[in-house]
Amino acid sequence: MTSISIASTTKALLAATIMLSSAAYADFNHSSWDSLLDKNVTMTNGGKASVVNYAGMKADNGKLRNYLDATSKVSQAEFNRWNKDEQLAFLINVYNAATIELVLTKYPNIKSIKDIGGLLSSPWKQDFIQLLGKTRSLDDIEHNLIRGSKRYNEPRIHFAVNCASIGCPALLDDAFTGKKLERQLEQITNKFLADSSRNRLKGSTLEVSPIFKWYKEDFETNWRGTNDLEGFLARYSSSLGLNKSQTADLKAGKTKISYTNYNWNLNKK
């Protein structure tokens, strides 16, 4: 092999390595979804909640559909090349955008997302989302691709995927991205737990959102050394307004935990 051909081969290998590396860290372009959120989502109560201008989203429905069409073109092979943060940010964004799209199919003639469908057709079980080569439901994205994959082990996704309801944690007014994911997940978790309308200490009882009851197992998976719900909540004791003694009681299992009511009314502006 000549020195020229060796050099050419080396350059080709280097280029291929750079391409693979950049693919693994290249965020999908969520700018159109980000602009829709910035325009139509208003953070309220100091960022602890948010409301959605569904009329505005409906006026921009073409832009929303274009975004979902772009996400539908991502192949499984391309998705697999991304790092975990980028994958998770992508799945959260698709879930939230698809939820808005589902609400818009009936808006303004609904009071709750639960009005979509019927006794035998939950809104979360409807197959309408083209994603990674299949037609999927919201449940499929959340419970199979995110939770069921065991790849992410990320309990904070329950404060990120949005069910278009007042009882749900805030829909952020910016899109999730791989580079900002950790900061964004911490932001929404702290803000949600600081919302005393949904999480509060009353006497010796900690009343928290039923999200913690529905998905309790996700808070018991040794995420960052946390093996139980009490341990997870104790990590955010300052957001919950707990002092050192109250936090110690929570960690020791001395605090009774009960669950607040969930408001399924639409989180509309």
pTM, entire model: 0.90
Question: Burial level of 264, CB count in 10 A (0-12/13-18/19+)?
Answer: middle
Domain assignment present for residue 76? The answer is yes
Per-residue pLDDT for 27 more than 80? no
Give residue 32's pLDDT. Answer: 97
Question: What average pLDDT does the segment 63-82 reach?
Answer: 97
Per-residue pLDDT for 102 more than 80? yes
**Contact yes or no for 175/67 (Cβ under 8 A):** no
Counting the structural domains of the chain, the total is 1
pLDDT band at 251 (very low <50, low <70, confident <90, very high): very high
Domain assignment present for residue 18? The answer is no
**Contact yes or no for 145/9 (Cβ under 8 A):** no
Domain assignment present for residue 81? The answer is yes
Give residue 246's pLDDT. Answer: 97
Q: Which residues contact 58 (CB under 8 A, 6 or more apart)?
A: 104, 107
CA distances to 60, 166, 230 from 266, in Å: 19, 6, 30
Domain assignment present for residue 123? The answer is yes
Question: What average pLDDT does the segment 32-61 reach?
Answer: 98
Give residue 121's pLDDT. Answer: 79
**Structural domain boundaries, residue 85:** 26-192
pLDDT tens digits along 146-202: 999 989 999 999 999 999 999 999 999 999 999 999 999 999 999 999 999 999 999
Domain assignment present for residue 33? The answer is yes
Domain assignment present for residue 249? The answer is no
Share of the chain above pLDDT 90, in %: 87
Per-residue pLDDT for 18 more than 50? no
Residue 65 in 3-state DSSP?
A: helix
Domain assignment present for residue 66? The answer is yes
Domain assignment present for residue 180? The answer is yes
Per-residue pLDDT for 22 more than 60? no
| Helix, strand, coil share (%) of the chain residues, nearest 5 | 55, 15, 35
Residue 169 in 3-state DSSP?
A: coil
